[in-house]
Structure 1
């Protein structure tokens, strides 16, 4: 059991770092995309949709699917589940704020619907991931003290 606890702690710490990095890269890819109609743009869009879906699944389910069941259960304890719920709430509010901002900005610089949607989704997912990673890292720091 101690081995599972150690594995869960290492995997949880790694997950916290990975979700923060994923949030940063996900936002950075938004700047590199366009709404043109070339084949490469369609491939890029499909990749973005798949990546966003995968990030949401990790956020909602906790990840760690390649870990043994006992380790996954330890990685998704009550503190982690609470951190996940809090981060999903942050993601929701960031998405709503971003939607309101794009609504106002659209008046002066019109967006295509797909572009506005991508901005809202990207910032909502990234905020939730970042907040989850921050909360998890904080929980591990408190555990170490």
Structure 2
């Protein structure tokens, strides 16, 4: 796989299982995620496992949009990844949370790969109000991981 278009990491003073539980609890993702306001499972599978789908509801200022995501990896305490599509069929991105245990908690890396074609880059920029998606994602990912860290570290 090619290098990610954006990647950010943080140390979290919480067990990997707690962090994994947060990143896979998509119903509460909006509590710590900057751009995704909420998400809901779609279909019969309502847990993080490959093939499960969820709809993400996102916003940037006054702009709002939704995406359809398919889980591609779900390794408890280690990896949660998903493929994002617009309108259920147009490639948008791959997202991945990698969790590595440390002596004092875990290291969390959030990465994304922009998979949009030229037309989707233009349309996506108009819909989301973001021209430079990689820079925007990197800034949001920093804030998102700080939010994840804050929530994870106050969990028992």
TM-score, normalised by the number of residues in structure 2: 0.26
State the TM-score, normalized to the length of structure 1. 0.27
Q: Which has the higher helix share?
A: 1
Greater strand content: 2
Q: Point out which structure has higher relative CO (alpha carbons under 8 A, 6+ apart).
A: 1
